[in-house]
Amino acid sequence: MMNERKTMVVKIGSSTLVEAGELRRDFIADLAAQARDLRDAGWDLVVVSSGAIACGAPLLGFEKRPTDMPSLQACASVGQCVLSAVYDEEFRAVDMLTSLVLLTRSDTARRSSYLHARDALTRLLELGVVPVVNENDTTAVDEIKFGDNDTLAALVSCLVSADLCVTLSDIDGLYTANPSLDPSAEFIPLVDKIDAAIIGSAGDSTTSVGTGGMITKIRSCRILMTAGIESVICSGAEERPLVRLAMGEQVGTRFVPPAGRLEIAPRKLWIALGDSAHGTVTVDAGAARALVDGGGSLLPVGIKTVDGDFSAGDILDVRDADGFVLARGIAEADRDVLELAAGRRQEDIAGNRLLVALADKPAIHRDNLIVFA
């Protein structure tokens, strides 16, 4: 009986793929060679590739990344053709086939579309194809953008039930502070819990060609830990990092899910990643403990403040008093209703004609709530 194959997702940042305005064909050729060796070792690979805008900008005569949306979309349109062609050529050279998968939030915000994306990616892997995934920057606008490919890589990892998600970056992992600004910053090889201190240690992007910084990578790793998926942040300059990681070597910073964590239902992973949050509720210490330790629903009495313009059925971030995001869930009521109900007990809500619709249900039901690791 053949051993079950594993799946690795690798996210490659623009600063790793593009140097001085030129696409690094040698890097993609090395990636293809690693993909071949991974295939032979029982691993399937999905590539989440940035770089379309960075490739297209110099070809259209821009000396630096433009800032207006039409120009960015034009750069993405031109650059994606170049990027896809090089992936196709270099992977075919090692007898591997790639495909292009372009996604936006509108493709995953609806549960049905999210499942279709999952099925398409799964079938491509079954057929031995290496999907190359990117955000559809040619048509995406702010309202439907993932915003960074770190979030997209986490989404794709959940869609294909990846065993490992690797981010190849221009930094070799996580430090206690930004090493380019603080020479005393210490390297962190292993993370088993992402708390406020870890979030605080993440500096912002220092490159001019990308959109994501370390903070977006950490947030994505936290979602992956919640999903029970290991992840790694390491330098794209490392020698054959994907093969070495598949063999169990220590490369970069590894983020390990909590031991004994229960499997997260696919619907809850969709809540965490499928759509962006439309609002925020801040909860008191008692409600925070009930969510994190007790696995309960969020009741209106535990809500301190409500922010954002949202309706019943929209996704909300749940923050503690310090602003740390504990969870994400689906609102049971519109913003004005939750704002009026905040801090009130169920018996008080039942006696209020404006709030009676919330008398028999929570602000966010536990079945529609994902608590982050």
Domain boundaries, the chain: 6-255, 277-371
CA distance linking residue 59 with residue 77, whole number of Å:
11
All residues at 6 or more sequence positions from 301 whose CB lies less than 8 Å from its CB, including other chains: 287, 343, 344, 345, 346
- Token duo for residue 152: 């997209």
The residues facing 101 across adjacent strands are 133
The whole-angstrom distance between residue 214's C-alpha and the CA centroid of its chain comes to 12
| AA letter at 109 | A
- Domains 6-255 and 277-371 are alike in CATH topology: no
The CATH number that domain 277-371 falls under is: 2.30.130.10
CA distance linking residue 210 with residue 208, whole number of Å:
6
CA distances from 188 to 18, 32, 164, 171, 198 (A): 27, 29, 19, 12, 10
CA distance linking residue 373 with residue 371, whole number of Å:
7
CA distance linking residue 242 with residue 363, whole number of Å:
43
Cα 286-195-238 angle, rounded to 5 deg: 160
Q: Tell the CATH superfamily of the 6-255 domain.
A: Acetylglutamate kinase-like (3.40.1160.10)
Residue ranges for the known binding site for ATP are 11, 169-170, 211-217
Residue ranges for the known binding site for substrate are 50, 137, 149
User: What is residue 144's predicted lDDT score, i.e. its pLDDT?
Assistant: 33
What tens-digit pLDDT sequence spans the chain (373 residues)? 345 899 999 999 888 998 888 899 999 999 999 999 999 999 999 999 988 999 999 999 998 889 898 998 899 899 999 999 999 999 999 999 999 998 876 677 677 888 888 999 999 999 999 999 998 766 654 433 445 688 889 989 988 999 999 999 888 999 988 888 888 989 999 999 888 888 877 754 444 343 447 888 898 898 899 889 999 999 999 999 999 999 999 999 999 998 755 556 667 877 877 667 899 999 999 999 999 888 889 999 999 999 999 999 999 999 999 999 999 999 999 999 999 999 999 889 988 888 887 888 999 999 999 998 7
Q: Which of 38, 3, 34, 30 is nearest to 86 (CA)?
A: 30
All residues at 6 or more sequence positions from 10 whose CB lies less than 8 Å from its CB, including other chains: 31, 45, 46, 47, 48, 165, 166, 167, 168, 242
Residue ranges for the known binding site are 11, 50, 137, 149, 169-170, 211-217
